């Protein structure tokens, strides 16, 4: 049965929680590692190890949450109650992480990162799965994910206004003040946006009964679903690239580009990314999702070496380059999440079970794993080449930092383009899958009516 186009206001209400979720993700990847390494005195190697181990815990929590959310709906639906339950977990852990008392320890950082990731997984995984189930149309799914990722991107520059203001005002401890202020932003905004989304946006479509699948079924998609394997492999590379750039950004802006207001540069980058969202969605309508993803990956890979052309201290040249690099901010995430909704349709046709939560768990798992490995590898690499934050570095160490910063996204984006080239699931195939699912549902309804 054809679905109506979801009103814009309702999509905005649905996407609202993505703003504080993004506001949480940015400091985790950009500000917290530096804050705990320098201000809390833990050092690069210790912080890199803690963030990597904490992220790798998602190897357990992501697929577990995906299976649980698929199998245990409530009277609210399949996803909303899980998002609501995540709020108190996130609020407590954000308070402890963003406003710590010095001196801190690696155990303290690990424990609260561990708890934060549980809450973050509950919220983000179920929010993505909810979006995938809002509509069955190939292009409408891109529109839904465009809204969600647009709000994700919006959340980043909005929360970045906080450290920008604090950097401009100065103070005795700018680093601690900006981290604490971002924590308060999350604590205040998350419960408000979740309440609006749960209240105003229903879970459209059929409310499935419990999915009585054995736990071993959680790994079956990895073994049998080739489109899924290609999507999550590409998302792993994108997650690795994004986390590596995020963890190095402040170092690159300060030591290589010599920009005195790095948060302003990051703000420009994300506002540019927000502007590219409708462009990418429309490009996916015209080319198809995977072709648009290949085009975006190639653009990113070929654009990033222009960073070498920026003269040290030239803010305007840096701003121009980072404006064009903004296409990397949301383009791939929109397309990955929209493509995955279509891939989940194939699994439903083959197995008879809707396992959207599991599929998004597998995607977030690989992306987070890529991010976890990236932070550890990057910080270890910088340590090996002799780069020391907050100290006087040699020219060779700074040059090495710049090379790692540029080479990482180039390699990863060329890899994404190679993996997604010739991806088999296009609009025609997805529409055929949806027709078969609808016919099977009608047959089951007719059979039930005759019993």
Q: What is the pLDDT of residue 222?
A: 61
Structural domain includes residue 444: no
* Residue 135 domain flag: yes
Number of domains in the chain: 1
Domain that holds residue 414: 11-202+218-438
- What local confidence, expressed as pLDDT, does residue 208 receive? 47
CB atoms within 10 A of CB 34: 22
The pLDDT of 303-323, averaged and rounded, is 90
Query: What rounded mean pLDDT belongs to the chain?
Result: 82
Report the range of poorest mean pLDDT among 170-174, 293-297, 331-335, 369-373: 170-174
Q: Is residue 232, in this structure, part of any structural domain at all? A: yes
Q: What percent of the chain has pLDDT over 70?
A: 92
Residue 449 lies in a domain: no
Supply the CATH number for residue 169's domain.
Answer: 1.20.1250.20
Residue 209: its pLDDT value, please? 46
Using CA atoms, how far apart are residues 102 and 84, in angstroms rounded to an integer?
32
Residue 104 within any structural domain of the chain = yes
- Residue, of 164 and 83, whose pLDDT is higher: 83
Q: Does the structure show a pLDDT above 90 at 34?
A: no
- List, for residues 74-131, the tens digit of each pLDDT value: 777 788 999 999 999 999 999 998 888 766 788 888 888 889 988 988 898 889 888 8
- The fraction of the chain above a pLDDT of 90, given in percent, is 15
pLDDT at 2 over 70: no
Instruction: Give residue 1's pLDDT band: very low, low, confident or very high (50, 70, 90).
Output: very low
The predicted-structure confidence for 177-236, as pLDDT tens digits, reads as follows 878 888 898 999 999 999 999 998 887 655 444 445 555 655 665 677 788 889 888 988
* pLDDT over threshold 60, residue 389: yes
Does any domain span residue 250? yes
52: in domain? yes
pLDDT: which is higher, 220 or 274: 274
41-63 tens-digit pLDDT:
787 778 878 877 877 776 777 77
Quickly state the pLDDT bin for 449 (edges 50, 70, 90). Answer: low
pLDDT at 57: 74
Q: Which range, of 90-94, 124-128, 139-143, 412-416, averages the lowest pLDDT?
A: 139-143
Query: Does the residue 448 lie in any domain?
Result: no
């Amino acid at each position: 049965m054809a679905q109506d186009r979801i009103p814009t206001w309702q999509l905005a209400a649905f996407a609202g929680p993505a703003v504080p979720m993004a506001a949480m993700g940015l400091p985790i990847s950009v500000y917290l590692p530096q804050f705990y390494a320098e201000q809390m005195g833990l050092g690069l190697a210790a912080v890199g190890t803690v963030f990597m181990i904490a992220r790798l815990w998602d190897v357990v929590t992501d697929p577990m949450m995906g299976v649980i959310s698929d199998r245990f709906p409530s009277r609210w639906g399949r996803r909303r109650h899980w998002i609501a339950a995540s709020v108190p977990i996130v609020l407590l852990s954000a308070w402890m992480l963003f406003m710590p008392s010095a001196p801190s320890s690696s155990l303290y950082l690990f424990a609260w990162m561990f708890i934060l990731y549980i809450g973050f997984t509950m919220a983000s995984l179920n929010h993505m799965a909810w979006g995938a189930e809002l509509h069955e149309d190939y292009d409408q799914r891109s529109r839904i994910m465009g809204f969600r990722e647009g709000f994700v991107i919006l959340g980043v520059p909005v929360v970045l206004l906080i450290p920008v203001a604090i950097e401009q005002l100065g103070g005795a401890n700018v680093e601690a003040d900006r981290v604490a202020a971002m924590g308060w932003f999350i604590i205040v905004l998350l419960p408000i946006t979740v309440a609006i989304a749960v209240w105003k946006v229903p879970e459209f479509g059929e409310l499935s009964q419990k999915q009585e699948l054995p736990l071993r079924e959680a790994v079956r998609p990895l073994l049998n679903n080739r489109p899924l394997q290609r999507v999550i492999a590409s998302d792993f590379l994108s997650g690795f690239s994004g986390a590596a750039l995020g963890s190095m950004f402040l170092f690159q802006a300060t030591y290589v580009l010599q920009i005195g207001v790095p948060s302003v540069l990051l703000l420009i980058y994300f506002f540019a990314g927000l502007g590219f969202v409708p462009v990418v969605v429309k490009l996916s309508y015209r080319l198809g999702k995977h072709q648009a993803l290949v085009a975006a990956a190639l653009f990113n890979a070929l654009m990033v070496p222009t960073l070498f052309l920026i003269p040290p201290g030239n803010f305007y040249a840096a701003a121009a380059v980072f404006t064009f690099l903004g296409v990397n901010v949301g383009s791939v995430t929109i397309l990955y999440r929209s493509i995955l909704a279509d891939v989940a349709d194939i699994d439903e046709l083959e197995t008879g079970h809707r396992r959207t939560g599991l599929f998004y768990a597998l995607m977030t798992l690989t992306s987070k794993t890529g991010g976890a490995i990236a932070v550890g590898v990057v910080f270890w690499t910088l340590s090996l080449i002799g780069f020391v934050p907050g100290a006087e570095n040699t020219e060779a160490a700074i040059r090495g930092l710049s090379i790692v910063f540029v080479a990482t996204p180039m390699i990863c984006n060329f890899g994404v383009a190679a993996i997604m080239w010739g991806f088999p699931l296009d609009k025609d195939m997805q529409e055929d899958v949806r027709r078969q699912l609808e016919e099977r549902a009608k047959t089951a309804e007719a059979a039930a009516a005759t019993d």
